[in-house]
Amino acid sequence: MPGRDPVKTALVGIIRNEADDLLPWMGWHARLGVDTFVLFDDGSTDGTMDLLQAAAALHDVRIYRLPWSDGPVDGRQQHAYQTALHLLQGQCDWVGFLDSDEYLDLHRHSNLQAFLGDFSEEVGGVAISWCLQGSNQLVLRPVQPAFHAFTRHSRPEEPINRHVKSFVRPDCWDGGWINPHIFPLKKGHYVTPGQQQVNWERPGIQQALPDWGTARVRHYQVRSLEQFTERARRRANLQLRLPDFLAGDRNELEDRRPCAALGPVQAWMREVIFQGAAEALLPLPVAEPEAWQPPAPQLPFSLTRIVAWNGHGVGVQQDGLVQLLADTPVETKPETPGSAAAQALPQLYGLRMEFAPEHVFLLACTPQGLLNDFTFLEDRRLNGVLPYRVRPGNQQNSVALQQLQPQHFLSAPPGEALVADRLQVQLWENFTLDATPRFKEGNAWQSLPFIRFLQEGLRLPPTLAGLGALMRKDRHLALRLLPVFHARLSPEEQSALQEMLGPFRPYFFTDSPEAVKQPFR
């Protein structure tokens, strides 16, 4: 409606030891338009607070610590939710309440502002139905975020889906408490996302089947068997058993629409990760100016273009995933429309370092030679320069590319995103390293900005102090190229660097500090 003030929204949650899942959850809801996160930490010890503080440096994230208690979580949840509603009165138009295993879907609106802006002033609360997600028959924790890994869910008629979670107007709340699902209102009433009156079977559970047409809350109650086991260990008071997993593991239907959000969510995560990593590495010592060495007469590294098993290049799509380019093989290069479109995409390249001859550092470059974000399925790292081992392929002049840990091979299946989950080398796991990368405007790869920065970095001693000097010079490029500089360190300093990164480490490295035995050089 023209002239209407924008709707201000907040999302409230309680978290405890959610370092593995927190950033995707926040990124998902930031993408939907959440203006303010109000998060209550319930005694985390796994680096969750470091992640929150990094996010708070870039976004409106308000962090509170709940008073320590070993009692039931219900009391702490009531305290947190009521505190948030008091704080947000007069600041936000709508406040939502979700756990970190709950993701909001909007099916008819592009964002929360449009969705919540459709409700009249007579509506004080919106009751959004659960959609119980299954495990996709996964035993181990997946690498990808929950919204991408667990695509299967229950049928609407599953009784648990009549549970709801709420968005409420804080000025309509009467100050009381019912349960974490709904709140008592002093004015207005609850409706469904489709604007229908809610009839309650009991508070928080509606009589009717869920209304998923406009919005729903995907509830990842069990996730993988490994994650369910972790939850059972963490919440011993619930006495969860295998029948509880089987009862909640509903996989009857599949919906892959949430997978399309991977790129935007990871872009949000990447900003937070770089912010947090930069803060974590502030204590690094800094090498003195006299530590710089003269430039090497020849570059001790080379840049190669990654070519797939069928002779095609490999490009980064709009969602950040990497796929075979739909062009002709690199040897022929005819002038065709398909080839031109493919060549406009960022493509995959590899740095070959003299001090790490058995490895290639994969990166993506635009046609102008600028570094570009990308991700492989089943590879959690998001910094944009990923070391892989170079192994023999099973085709002539080909190689296979293997993760450091777990030791899975990168695969380029036709029509699908590259995935790093193959246990052995077959056809799609073969690549060649093209020694003649090409960039627009006649740019030689040796003159690209990140190459010049890398050359400068190699003039410094291979120590943490040398890395500290690079962070002072350009922290963004230093973090991009961190795996390269990490490879030059001694085993002791490699371990120290990874420990400094804390909860940000898995987004840069696949091997743990304990796994570091020998430096590459």
Query: Is residue 309 within 8 Å of residue 412, measured between CB atoms?
Result: yes
**What is the model's pTM?**
0.92
Q: What is the pLDDT of residue 6?
A: 84
CATH (one of 2.20.25, 1.20.120, 1.10.1060, 3.90.550) for 9-268 = 3.90.550
For residue 480, give every residue at least 6 positions away whose Cβ sits within 8 Å of its Cβ, in sequence order, or none.
371, 383, 384, 385, 450
Q: What is the pLDDT of residue 515?
A: 41
Q: What is the pLDDT of residue 510?
A: 87
Q: What is the pLDDT of residue 159?
A: 96
∠ at Cα 437 (369, 307), nearest 5°?
115
String of DSSP letters for 217-272:
EEE-SS-SHHHHHHHHHHTGGG---HHHHHHH---SEE--GGGGGHHHHHHHHHHH
Q: What is the pLDDT of residue 69?
A: 67
State the DSSP code for 7: P
Task: Give the torsion sign (CA, 17, 277, 408, 349).
Answer: positive
Q: What is the pLDDT of residue 291?
A: 79
State the DSSP code for 386: E
Please, what CATH class does the domain formed by 284-521 belong to? mainly beta
Ranges in the chain, pLDDT < 70: 1-4, 68-72, 236, 327-343, 438, 440-443, 511-521
Q: What is the pLDDT of residue 335?
A: 36
Q: What is the pLDDT of residue 292?
A: 82
Tell me phi and psi for residue 73, to 5 degrees. -70, -20
Tell me, letter by letter, the H, E, C secondary structure of 97-160. Answer: ECCCCEEEEECCCCCHHHHHHCCCCCEEEEEEEEEEECCCCCCCCCCCCHHHHCCEECCCCCHH
Query: Is residue 49 within 8 Å of residue 57, measured between CB atoms?
Result: no
Cβ neighbour number for residue 214 with a 10 Å cutoff = 18
Q: Where is 466: in which H helix or E strand? A: helix 464-473
Q: What is the pLDDT of residue 403?
A: 95
Nearest residue to 308 via CA among 387, 383, 362:
362
CA distance 112 to 32: 6
223-226-228-233 Cα dihedral, nearest 10 degrees: -160
Q: What is the pLDDT of residue 27?
A: 98
Query: Is residue 306 within 8 Å of residue 313, measured between CB atoms?
Result: yes
Per-residue exposure over 435-474, b if at least 16 CB sit within 10 Å of its own CB, e if not: eebebeeeeebeebebbebbebbbebebbbbbbbbbbeeb
Q: What is the pLDDT of residue 189?
A: 97
Cα of first residue to Cα of last residue in the chain, in angstroms, is 63
Per-residue exposure over 257-289, b if at least 16 CB sit within 10 Å of its own CB, e if not: ebbebbbbbbebbbebbbbbbbebbeebeebee
Query: Domain residues of the chain, as ranges?
Result: 9-268, 284-521
